[in-house]
Amino acid sequence: MLSQNIFTITENEKIADKTFRMELSGDASAIVRPGQFVNIKLNGFFLRRPISVCDCTGSGLTLIYKTVGAGTEYMSTLHAGEKLDLLVGLGNGFDTSLSGDSPLLIAGGGGVPPMINLTKRLISEGRRVQCVIGFNTANEVYCERELRKLGAEVIVTTADGSYGVKGFVTDAVRGLAYSFFYTCGPLPMYKAIRSVVSSAGQYSFEERMGCGFGACMGCSIKTRQGAKRICKDGPVFNSEDIIWEELEK
């Protein structure tokens, strides 16, 4: 259930190229599942900025975000002590009850952050977690150490081969054995993953959003279960419900 709370920034630092980690203290109890997101009000911007939750405790949360436009650029200039108005507990999040014994987590670029909380949850539920995280180049790599520390087996890919396995996440996914997969990343990555995965899975989608809580119908997607709102009914959808032909358009 959504709640609107004021958070205080306790840390906001660069951790990789164009990638920042922000620690916030405040009531994050509305966040109940990995893969949910928050929607942040920023001074000078009309719409809030939806950012996936990397990790959370009852009294705070961690966001890792990429600077992709004016809003996130502005976010990266904020300092510890400043306050932010957040809508928390948005979206459905990943369903860990589907994971089986050895789930595979696949993430590309800006899709990596929610894998932290997801890994934590799956490990606590006694699962063997494998992660494949992909980047363009070495100086973009983040979260590898954190995922290992949580107990996941981690493969890093870089498109230019400057770190880890050379190639795309799909190159590393081929040949792995797993019970279920969870993925977060850009649409072209999903289209490639689709042809190499050997199990059912869940995909987390992103879209330009108006409200982030299901009111404006800005981020609709056609699924086999009918029209859904990415912000409210998603962002996570089961592989069998996605109509890929619609996403080709």
Partner 1 sequence: MTNSPDMKISLCGLELDNPIIPASGTFGYGHEFAELYDINVLGSFSFKGTTFEPRFGNATPRIAECPEGMLNSIGLQNPGVHAVINEELPKLEKCFRKKVIANVGGFSVDEYAKTSELLNACDQVGMIEVNISCPNVHNGGMSFGTDPAAAAEVTRAVKAVTTKPVVMKLSPNAADIAAIAKACEDAGADGISLINTLLGMRIDLKTRRPILANKMGGYSGRAVFPVAVRMVYQVYEAVKIPIIGMGGISSAADVIEMMLAGAAAVQVGAANLVDPFACPKIIKELPGVMRNYGINKLTDIIGGAHNG
Sites of contact with partner 1 (CB under 8 A): 1-2, 4, 41, 45-48, 71, 87, 207-211, 213-222, 227, 232, 249
What distance in Å separates the CA atoms of residue 189 and residue 135, rounded to the nearest whole number?
11
Report, in Å, the least distance between residue 244 CB and partner 1: 15
Reading the block at residue 72, the tokens are: 């996130």
Which is nearer to partner 1, 199 or 220 (by Cβ)? 220
Minimum Å gap between C-beta 224 and partner 1 is 14
Q: Measured from the CB of residue 191, what is the shortest distance to partner 1 in angstroms?
A: 16
**How far, in Å, CA of 71 to CA of 158, rounded?**
27
Q: Work out how close the CB of 97 gets to partner 1 at its nearest, in angstroms, rounded to a whole number.
A: 24
Residue nearer to partner 1 on the CB measure, 84 or 209: 209
- Name the helix (H) or strand (E) containing 73: helix 70-75
Of the candidates 110, 113, 109, 108, which has an alpha carbon nearest to the alpha carbon of residue 94?
A: 113
Shortest distance, position 129 Cβ to partner 1, whole Å: 32
Q: Which CB, 68 or 200, lies closer to partner 1? A: 68
Q: Which is nearer to partner 1, 181 or 237 (CB)?
A: 237
Q: Which is nearer to partner 1, 4 or 57 (CB)?
A: 4
Distances, alpha carbon 193 to alpha carbons 53, 92, 108, 178, 189, in Å: 23, 22, 11, 14, 6
d(CA 185, CA 119): 16
- Closest-CA residue to 237 (of 127, 133, 245, 227): 227
